[in-house]
Amino acid sequence: MEQLTEFRDDIEAKVEVAVREGYKPNPAVIKWIKDVHELEKEWESMQESITAAKSLTYKCCPKCSLRSEVSTQARNIRDQLCRLKEVGENHGSNLVIENYQMKKVEHIPGPSIEGQPAATRNLNELLRLLEDDKVCIIGVWGTGGVGKTTLVKNLNNELLKNVPSSKLSFGVVIWVTVPKPPIDVRKIQEQIASRLNLTVDNEASVESIASKICERLEKETSFLLILDDVWEAINLDYVGVPQPEYPARSKVIITSRFLDVCKQMRTDVEMKVYTLEEDESWQLFAKNVGDIVNLEQIHPLAKEIARECDGLPLAITVVGSSMRGKTKVYKVIKWSFDSLESQDIELSSEQRRKHVNKKRGDIRSCFLYCSLYPAAIPTDDLIHCWWAEGILGEHDMYEEAYNRGITLIESLKDACLLEANKMHYVKMHDVVRDVAIWIASTFGNEQTFVFQAGIGLTEISCIKISASVKRISFISNEIECLPDCFTKCPKTTSLLLQDNKPLYRIPPEFFLAFPDLRVLNLRGNTSIRALPSSINSLCQLRALILKNCSNLKKLPPVANLHNLQVLDCDNTELRCLPQGMDNLTNLRLLNMTNPRLLTFPRDGNLSRSCLGATSFDEISSLQNLTYLSIRVDNSSCFNRDYTWMTRLKGFLIKVGETSCYAPHIPYNKSKRVIKFYKCEIFSYGELSGMLQFASDLYLDKCMGLRKLISYNTFNGLKLLNIYYCFCSFEPVEGGSGQFDPLPNLEYLVLESVENLKSISAFCQYLGLRFSKLRQLNISYCPSLTCLFNDGGTCSVPKHLEEITVDDCRQLVELFVRCSSSDQATLVNSEIPRVLKLSLYKVPQLGSLGEPQSIWEHLEELTVNGCDGLRKLPLSIQTSENIKIIKGKSAWWSQLEWDDENFKANLEHSYKERQN
pLDDT tens-digit map of 850-887: 777 889 999 999 999 998 999 999 999 998 899 999 99
Q: Which residue has the higher pLDDT, 728 or 808?
A: 808
pLDDT tens-digit map of 305-347: 777 777 778 777 767 776 665 657 666 567 677 777 644 444 4
User: Do residues 300 and 266 share a domain?
Assistant: no
* Whole-angstrom distance, CA of residue 318 vs CA of residue 11: 53
| Residue that terminates a domain, selected from 44, 71, 98 | 98
Mean pLDDT confidence for 524-550 = 92
Instruction: Let me know if residue 811 belongs to a domain.
Output: yes
Sheet holding 419-420, edge to edge: 377-378, 425-427, 419-420
Mean pLDDT confidence for 749-755 = 93
Instruction: Let me know if residue 260 belongs to a domain.
Output: yes
**Phi and psi dihedrals of 167, rounded to 5?**
-70, -15
Q: Which residue has the higher pLDDT, 329 or 785?
A: 785
DSSP per residue, 853-867: GGGTT--EEEEES-T
User: Do residues 122 and 258 share a domain?
Assistant: yes
**Exposure pattern of 669-685 as b/e (b: 16+ CB <10 Å)?**
bebbbbbbbbbebbeee
Mean pLDDT confidence for 418-424 = 83
The residue type of 561 is L
pLDDT score recorded for residue 345: 42
Tell me the pLDDT band of 32, cut-offs 50, 70 and 90.
confident
Indicate which CATH number applies to the domain containing 434: 1.10.10
Which of the residue ranges 45-49, 218-222, 269-273 would you say has the lowest mean pLDDT? 45-49
User: Do residues 285 and 242 share a domain?
Assistant: no
- Could you tell me if 364 and 343 are in contact, meaning their C-beta atoms sit under 8 angstroms apart? no
What percent of the chain stands above pLDDT 90? 31
Average pLDDT along the chain: 81
User: Which residue, among 641, 631, 755, has the nearest Cα to 698 in the 3D structure?
Assistant: 631
Which of the residue ranges 61-65, 444-448, 570-574, 820-824 would you say has the lowest mean pLDDT? 820-824
Q: Which helix (H) or strand (E) holds 195?
A: helix 185-195
Instruction: Let me know if residue 21 belongs to a domain.
Output: yes
User: Do residues 139 and 261 share a domain?
Assistant: yes
Classified as helix, coil or strand, 211 is: helix
User: Do residues 207 and 318 share a domain?
Assistant: no
User: Do residues 228 and 121 share a domain?
Assistant: yes
Q: Which neighbouring-strand residues pair with 589?
A: 566, 627
pLDDT score recorded for residue 683: 56
* Residue 763, CA distances (Å) to 622, 766, 795 in order: 39, 6, 10
Tell me the pLDDT band of 785, cut-offs 50, 70 and 90.
very high
* Whole-angstrom distance, CA of residue 321 vs CA of residue 201: 43
* Residue 548, CA distances (Å) to 61, 506, 579 in order: 91, 17, 21
Tell me the pLDDT band of 356, cut-offs 50, 70 and 90.
very low
Do the strands 627-632 and 589-592 form a parallel or antiparallel pair, or are they unpaired?
Answer: parallel
pLDDT score recorded for residue 605: 40
pLDDT tens-digit map of 69-94: 777 777 777 877 787 777 777 665 55
* Whole-angstrom distance, CA of residue 92 vs CA of residue 74: 27
Mean pLDDT confidence for 235-246 = 87
- Could you tell me if 363 and 390 are in contact, meaning their C-beta atoms sit under 8 angstroms apart? no
- Looking at the structure of the chain, the number of domains it has is 5
Report the sign of the C-alpha dihedral through residues 752, 753, 758, 760, in that order. Answer: negative
pLDDT tens-digit map of 674-699: 988 887 656 556 677 788 889 999 99
Mean pLDDT confidence for 227-247 = 88
Res 603 pLDDT > 50: no
Q: Which residue has the higher pLDDT, 751 or 310?
A: 751
| Chain centroid to CA 141 | 32
- What does the H/E/C string look like for 304-319? HHHHHCCCCHHHHHHH
Cβ neighbours for 676, distance < 8 A, ≥ 6 positions apart: 655, 656, 687, 697, 698, 699, 700, 702
User: Do residues 92 and 47 share a domain?
Assistant: yes
Report the sign of the C-alpha dihedral through residues 98, 99, 101, 103, in that order. Answer: negative
User: Do residues 127 and 261 share a domain?
Assistant: yes
Mean pLDDT confidence for 764-787 = 92
Tell me the pLDDT band of 537, cut-offs 50, 70 and 90.
very high
User: Do residues 196 and 226 share a domain?
Assistant: yes
| Residue that terminates a domain, selected from 338, 354, 378 | 338
Res 260 pLDDT > 50: yes
**CA angle 255–242–218, rounded 5-degree value:** 125
Q: Which residue has the higher pLDDT, 687 or 480?
A: 480
Tell me the pLDDT band of 823, cut-offs 50, 70 and 90.
very low
pLDDT score recorded for residue 455: 78
Q: Which neighbouring-strand residues pair with 427?
A: 419
Instruction: Let me know if residue 604 belongs to a domain.
Output: no
Indicate which CATH number applies to the domain containing 128: 3.40.50.300
Res 915 pLDDT > 80: no
Helix 2-20, helix 62-91: angle, nearest 10: 40
Mean pLDDT confidence for 369-375 = 90
Classified as helix, coil or strand, 103 is: coil
Q: Which residue has the higher pLDDT, 42 or 498?
A: 498
Instruction: Let me know if residue 887 belongs to a domain.
Output: yes
- Could you tell me if 297 and 326 are in contact, meaning their C-beta atoms sit under 8 angstroms apart? no
pLDDT score recorded for residue 498: 92
Dump strand ranges (E) for 693-835: 696-700, 719-726, 747-754, 775-779, 786-790, 802-806, 813-817
User: Do residues 181 and 46 share a domain?
Assistant: no
User: Do residues 121 and 264 share a domain?
Assistant: yes
End-to-end, the C-alpha distance of the chain in Å comes to: 64
pLDDT score recorded for residue 64: 64
* Whole-angstrom distance, CA of residue 813 vs CA of residue 787: 7
Instruction: Let me know if residue 400 belongs to a domain.
Output: yes
Res 748 pLDDT > 90: yes
User: Do residues 370 and 430 share a domain?
Assistant: yes
| Other beta carbons within 10 Å of 659 | 13
Instruction: Let me know if residue 401 belongs to a domain.
Output: yes
Q: Which residue has the higher pLDDT, 829 or 153?
A: 153
Res 726 pLDDT > 90: no
* Whole-angstrom distance, CA of residue 650 vs CA of residue 669: 5
| Residue that terminates a domain, selected from 219, 237, 272 | 272
Mean pLDDT confidence for 445-469 = 74
Could you tell me the pTM of the whole model?
0.62
**Exposure pattern of 701-719 as b/e (b: 16+ CB <10 Å)?**
bbeebbbbbbebebeebbb
Structural domain span for residue 187: 117-272
Count of residues in the chain: 915
* Whole-angstrom distance, CA of residue 817 vs CA of residue 252: 89
pLDDT score recorded for residue 784: 94
Q: Which helix (H) or strand (E) holds 270?
A: strand 269-272
pLDDT score recorded for residue 845: 93
DSSP at 704? -
Q: Which residue has the higher pLDDT, 752 or 201?
A: 752
Tell me the pLDDT band of 809, cut-offs 50, 70 and 90.
very high
pLDDT tens-digit map of 573-602: 887 888 998 899 999 999 987 755 433 333
pLDDT score recorded for residue 841: 94
* Whole-angstrom distance, CA of residue 229 vs CA of residue 140: 10
Q: Which residue has the higher pLDDT, 635 or 883?
A: 883
- Could you tell me if 742 and 708 are in contact, meaning their C-beta atoms sit under 8 angstroms apart? no
Instruction: Let me know if residue 483 belongs to a domain.
Output: no
